[in-house]
Structure 1
Amino acid sequence: MKDSKLDPELLEKATEIFSELGLPVELAINVFLAKAVQAQGFPFPVALDGDRAVNQQGDNRISNAEITESIQHLVEVTLPLSEINNLTQLEYCKTTFGLSFPVLKISKTARPEDVRLSAKDAKGRNRYSTTKVAQRDGQTYLICTQWADRHRPAFVRWQQTFGDN
C-alpha cells in the first residue's frame, strides 16, 4: 500500500486487531470494499450517535443468551436458507463477525447425546449451546456461544440486516 493516503497510525492499530483475528488487514479492507460494492455505499449504518451494540431493552450490551435466542428465532422463522448456509461457513463467520467458529453447526440429530457430541471442538471444548438449538426443514443447528465484546457490534449490525425486530 505504498503511496497510500491511509492514516499510518490507524492502519497499524487495525493491523494489530485483524492480526488477533487471524486475518491480514488487506483481506479486511477487501471485505469492506466488497461489502460496500454490494451495498452500493457503506455496508453498515452511518449515524452520529455512534456504533454501540444495543439490545431491545436499550442496554448498551447484548448478552450471549440474547444472541443465542435471536439466532435461534431467526434460523427457525425468518432467515433465508442461503444465510443459514453462510452461518455454517467458518470464513463467512470470520469476516462477518470476527468469530473463530461458525455461528451454526449441523448436528446429526436433535437427540441430546448427538447435540452434546456436536457441541465440542477438536480439543473437546464446548463451543456451541447444548440447550438451545435451532431446527429448520428437518435439520438441527447448534448455535455458537463464543461471543466476546468485540463481536457484539458486528452481530447487532447483522441482526439489523436480517432481524425482524
Structure 2
Amino acid sequence: MAVLDGYLIKPDDNILIASDHAGLELKEIFSQFLIAEKYRVIDLGPNSSKSVDYPDYAYKLAGYISNGTAKAGVLICGTGIGISIAANRWLDVRAALVHNTQTAISARQHNDANVMAIGARILNTENALACLDSFLSSKFEGGRHLTRVEKLKEKPTY
C-alpha cells in the first residue's frame, strides 16, 4: 500500500480491529464507538476472554492491511507493545503504539500510521477513546515526513 499523502481515515472506511484476551473489553468499547461514528468495523477477534496469543491477531489484521483489503486498523493488548511489534513485521504496516492524544496525532501526521496499537491495561477507557478519536481525525502531513516514511520501504543496509 502506498503512502497516501494527506489521506484522512473517514466514516464509511473499513476499520479492522483485533485484540488479545487482555484487550477484549476495550475492543468492544472501541467497536461501539466506531459504529456510532459510521465506520464499517471488521472485528477479527477474539470473541471470548479465553487466553490467546497476540501475534495471531496482529498477523491477521496486518495481513489485511498489507494486501490492501483495508487502509486502517486498531490493535489492543495489555500494553500495546507486543501486538505492535508483531504487526510491524508486515510490509506497508505502520503500527504506532499510542499512549496519549499527542502520540496518536503524531503517529498519523508524521508517520502515516495505518494501525493504532494501544494498551488496555495502561490507559483508562476515557483516555483510550480520546486516543482513538485523535488518531482517526488526524491526517498525514506529507512534505518532509513523506521522504522519511518512504524510507521505511527500503531494506536496511547497515
* Pairwise same-fold verdict (TM > 0.5): no
Structure with greater helix share of residues? 1
Q: Larger RCO: Structure 1 or Structure 2 (Cα < 8 Å, ≥ 6 residues apart)? A: 2
Per the shorter chain, which TM-score range? Answer: under 0.3
- With normalisation by structure 1, the TM-score equals 0.25
